[in-house]
């Protein structure tokens, strides 16, 4: 039995690490790890492998950046020869990045079964490249591992064979629970509470330069009330250079380099609030009980809104400012720590990868 894992970007690493570990604990299963190189900067890739305790990839395809079509095509072309070489029993893909879609497409042509970890999530916004990746990957996959009941319902409504769907829980929470005690000791020493943590990287926020300028102006204004720490994604850094943004002298908006996984969740754990456009961070803040303000019109993780601490503000800086003022006025402790609702989300318990491993091993041998 030979299971091959395909990862390409930072969100994949947090999902793959516990699955690789759980399969290893299930006995003599050959595992191969292929890194497409979609994220290639050391701050976005190498350090995550180290901190998550992942093995070195068997191969790094080194595809780098490009348009969605260029990147997806480059991954498909490179991965095809890899799959001919390794001939796996089954391929596991993660999340919704271009590497995920590319691997599913190549496997479907080669008649290699595909398992999709984090299946069934839907924003119903086809302008998001990730939404296209999710829908197509789920259509091509043979095993669909879902993080929550709403994902199951999405797949059923789309006519997916129910025998393919397995509700296993959230593997992101597996990594978070395992490493949170270590992360508590790793947050940057020069950041003092209270602070708001910010992450922005989606095209809807960083490619629209006038909107990005307006958003940064609002963040500077909010920083008069509370310190803001903003680790800047490489994609976002390019956009900031284009608009020649510099933080005003009086501002407490701190732009910092990308953080490692441990440093980031250490900061996330103690933030007054998090402002983000990341799906994974919506999940992490829900589990941690940290108020989350999402700068998007929609989310593929609606359970974080209905059962968590997340609220959507869209492209409305007034709503963003109001949300942060409310959080600050009500106080951090009173706002969320006394009501951590993530305990109500079934199977967000740190054991999702174990459930995945049992099913993968059973299906691969059966």
Residue 13 contacts residue 54 (beta carbons within 8 Å): yes
CA distance 107 to 97: 16
Is 315 annotated as catalytic? no
- Residues recorded for the chain: 366
CA distance 128 to 138: 16
Return the closest-CA partner of residue 319 out of 171, 218, 187.
218
CA distance 183 to 181: 6
Kind and range of the H or E run holding 32: strand 30-35
Torsion of CA 44, 50, 56, 59, to 10 degrees: 0
Torsion of CA 15, 357, 269, 276, to 10 degrees: 30
At what angle are helices 352-365 and 10-24 packed, to 10 degrees? 60
Of 2, 201, 270, 315, the catalytic one is 201
DSSP bridge pairs for 258:
none
Catalytic residues: 201
């Amino acid at each position: 039995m030979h299971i091959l894992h395909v990862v390409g970007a930072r969100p994949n690493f947090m999902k793959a690490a516990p699955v690789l570990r759980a399969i290893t604990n299930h006995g003599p299963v050959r595992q191969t790890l292929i890194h497409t190189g979609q994220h290639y900067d050391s701050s976005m890739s190498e350090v995550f492998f180290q901190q998550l305790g992942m093995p070195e990839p068997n191969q790094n395809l080194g595809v780098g950046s490009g348009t969605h079509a260029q990147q997806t095509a480059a991954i498909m072309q490179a991965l095809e020869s890899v799959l001919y070489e390794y001939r796996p029993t089954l391929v596991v893909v993660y999340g919704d990045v271009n590497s995920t879609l590319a691997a599913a497409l190549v496997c479907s042509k080669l008649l290699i079964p595909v398992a999709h970890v984090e299946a069934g999530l839907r924003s119903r916004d086809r302008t998001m490249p990730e939404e296209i990746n999710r829908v197509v990957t789920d259509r091509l996959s043979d095993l669909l591992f879902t993080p929550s009941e709403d994902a199951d319902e999405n797949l059923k409504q789309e006519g997916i064979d129910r025998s393919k769907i397995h509700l296993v829980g959230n593997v992101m929470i597996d990594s978070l629970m395992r490493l949170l005690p270590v992360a508590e000791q790793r947050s940057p020493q020069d950041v003092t509470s209270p602070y708001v943590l910010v992450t922005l990287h989606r095209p809807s926020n960083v490619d629209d330069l006038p909107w990005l300028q307006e958003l940064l102006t609002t963040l500077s204004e909010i920083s008069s009330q509370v310190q803001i720490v903003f680790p800047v994604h490489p994609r976002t850094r390019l956009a900031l250079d284009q608009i020649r943004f510099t933080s005003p002298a009086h501002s407490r908006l701190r732009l910092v380099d990308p953080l490692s996984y441990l440093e980031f969740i250490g900061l996330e754990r103690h933030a007054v609030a998090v402002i983000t456009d990341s799906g994974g961070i919506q999940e992490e803040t829900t589990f941690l009980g940290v108020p989350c303000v999402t700068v998007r019109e929609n989310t593929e993780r609606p359970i974080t809104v209905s059962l968590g601490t997340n609220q959507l503000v869209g492209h409305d800086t007034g709503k963003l400012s109001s949300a942060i003022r409310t959080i600050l006025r009500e106080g951090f402790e009173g706002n969320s720590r006394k009501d951590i609702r993530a305990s109500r989300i079934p199977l967000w318990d740190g054991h999702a990868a174990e459930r995945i491993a049992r099913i993968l091993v059973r299906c691969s041998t059966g």
